[in-house]
Chains A and B, each alone.
Chain A
Amino acid sequence: MIDWSAEPRTAAAFSLRQVTIQRQAFTLGPLDLDIPAGYVTAVVGANGSGKSTLFRLLLNMEPYDQGQVELLGKPAADADADVELKRRIGYLAELPHAYENSLTAEEKARFASRWYPSWDWSRYRKLLRSFDAESSDKLRKLSKGMRRKVELACVLAPNPELLLLDEPSSGLDPFAWQTMLAELRRFMEQGDRTIVIASHIPDEVKRLADYILFLHRGRPLGFYEKDALFDSWRTIVLSAQEGASAESDLKRVPGVQGWIRSAPGIYQVETDRADDAEAFLSSQGYQILSKQRMELEEILGCLIRGEEARR
């Protein structure tokens, strides 16, 4: 096994301690999180898992009932430092703001530029050009994807320390999506920037993320280094000798998340400790037929099943 604890620990872009939000229909937390600075963290979860609420609470847009939030080294709830802190953050909300409907892209950018001393007009124009999104129409007249491109250009123009992106690619065509990935990579090349991105799209997570945070119904299901996650979660297909007590053995497989019988004598086991599971199965006399990496959504499915079983 790889000893990840040997990696140098980096500073946190933000930290949550026992943060809880109670609403009538929804509870978020308690959340204890340290999101590392200098990396891309993907927040993965189904609709209603709390991804957007997490972003909003960081920005003081969602009052929390309990706990502490530290953001870019400062307490996030400090009203005096609020503007100062938000100038260091770029936030792309999940849905466009209705109050911007009657603005043009230029007017939206001019409004945003007043709040960000670090706003860079040449950077903004370059981004619009690379997204192929130059237009003088009002934002409400633009297609969903076009409007998203304008928003992306605006959120990147001040080159903030921390980017919070809530499903940034919704509405983008495949070309614009590639451009977005390239621009976000270029942003990260600076070395000291942080992205937290909520995403439904497995390919986006695979291409962009260094860490993955799983959320489900407001509860964290785990925070993983991406490659370690995909290295250790595997589906193992095995064949059992006739008369073997497979069903009771499979329950004892290290890291077992679930198993099914796919044909007489053939079983499929999901595990989050692939190496240990394989060693165990071989020692019990099973023959390993294949060992495959699991997809992001399969891993999320396993984590959700485990969480629901514990409730």
Chain B
Amino acid sequence: MWIPVHIDENRPEPLYHQIESQLRGLILGGQLAEGTLLPSIREFAASLKCSVITVRRVYQDLENEGLLRTRQGTGTFVSRVDPEQRQGHRFERVVEAFEKAVETGLQLQCTPGEMEAILREVMDRQLAQREGDSR
């Protein structure tokens, strides 16, 4: 099966971190349902052009977090996720997205005031658009 994980070569995070946080997101976000069989380590590594060492590490980390389980000889499956964990993850992803935006702002030497103004403007615009769409 194909897993929608995208590596951004220009992000500063190490590869395993990018893959791990996206896969965690797909599980906690419910896109990968309980019981889904993940690709083999070699197959997943090939599709991401990374080494099996990286994928093995990701599977192990997520297994330790209780999000995956490996059945000997069968493969690695998505575990059951409790709703509380899922809720917590919703904010995590939003925080991560904001962090990236702020990073860009600082790189382009925006002041906190300017960034707040931009955020308000973007929110207003998108909310107005949604309201328009739903009408």
A residues within 8 Å of B by Cβ? 2, 7, 39, 181, 185, 188-189, 206-211, 225-228, 230-231, 274-275, 278, 288-293
**Residues in B whose Cβ lies below 8 Å from that of A231:** 14-15
Which interface residue of B15, B43, B53 has the most chain A CB atoms within 10 A? B53
Let me know if B12 and A227 touch, CB within 8 A: no
- Sorting the interface of chain B by its residue count into under 10, 10 to 19, 20 to 34 or 35 or more gives 10 to 19
CB distance from B56 to the nearest CB of A (A): 9
Let me know if A293 and B9 touch, CB within 8 A: yes
Let me know if B42 and A207 touch, CB within 8 A: no
B40 interface residue per 8 A CB criterion: yes
**Residues in B whose Cβ lies below 8 Å from that of A210:** 45, 51-53
Report the Cα distance A185→B42, complex, angstroms: 7
Report the Cα distance A230→B12, complex, angstroms: 11
Let me know if A227 and B46 touch, CB within 8 A: no
Let me know if B15 and A188 touch, CB within 8 A: no
B residues within 8 Å of A by Cβ? 9-10, 12, 14-16, 40, 42-43, 45-46, 49-54, 107
Whether A227 contacts B14 in the complex (CB less than 8 A), given A207-B49, A209-B51, A210-B51, comes out as yes
Let me know if B46 and A185 touch, CB within 8 A: yes
Let me know if B43 and A185 touch, CB within 8 A: yes
Whether A189 contacts B40 in the complex (CB less than 8 A), given A210-B52, A227-B53, comes out as yes
Chain B residue with minimal CB distance to A278? B12
**Residues in A whose Cβ lies below 8 Å from that of B52:** 39, 210
Report the Cα distance A292→B10, complex, angstroms: 5
Chain A residue with minimal CB distance to B49? A206
Let me know if B54 and A227 touch, CB within 8 A: yes
**Residues in B whose Cβ lies below 8 Å from that of A181:** 46
Let me know if B43 and A227 touch, CB within 8 A: no
28 contacts between A and B (CB under 8 A): A7-B53, A39-B51, A39-B53, A185-B46, A189-B40, A189-B42, A189-B43, A207-B49, A208-B46, A209-B51, A210-B51, A210-B52, A210-B53, A211-B51, A225-B53, A226-B50, A227-B15, A227-B16, A227-B51, A228-B14, A231-B15, A274-B12, A278-B12, A290-B10, A291-B12, A292-B9, A293-B9, A293-B10
Report the Cα distance A140→B123, complex, angstroms: 69
CB distance from B47 to the nearest CB of A (A): 9
Which interface residue of B14, B16, B43 has the most chain A CB atoms within 10 A? B14
Let me know if A230 and B15 touch, CB within 8 A: yes
Chain B residue with minimal CB distance to A206? B49
Report the Cα distance A278→B16, complex, angstroms: 20
Report the Cα distance A231→B53, complex, angstroms: 14
**Residues in A whose Cβ lies below 8 Å from that of B45:** 210
Chain B residue with minimal CB distance to A207? B49
**Residues in A whose Cβ lies below 8 Å from that of B43:** 185, 189
**Residues in B whose Cβ lies below 8 Å from that of A208:** 46
**Residues in A whose Cβ lies below 8 Å from that of B9:** 292-293
Whether A226 contacts B51 in the complex (CB less than 8 A), given A189-B40, A189-B43, A207-B46, comes out as yes
**Residues in B whose Cβ lies below 8 Å from that of A227:** 14-16, 50-51, 53-54
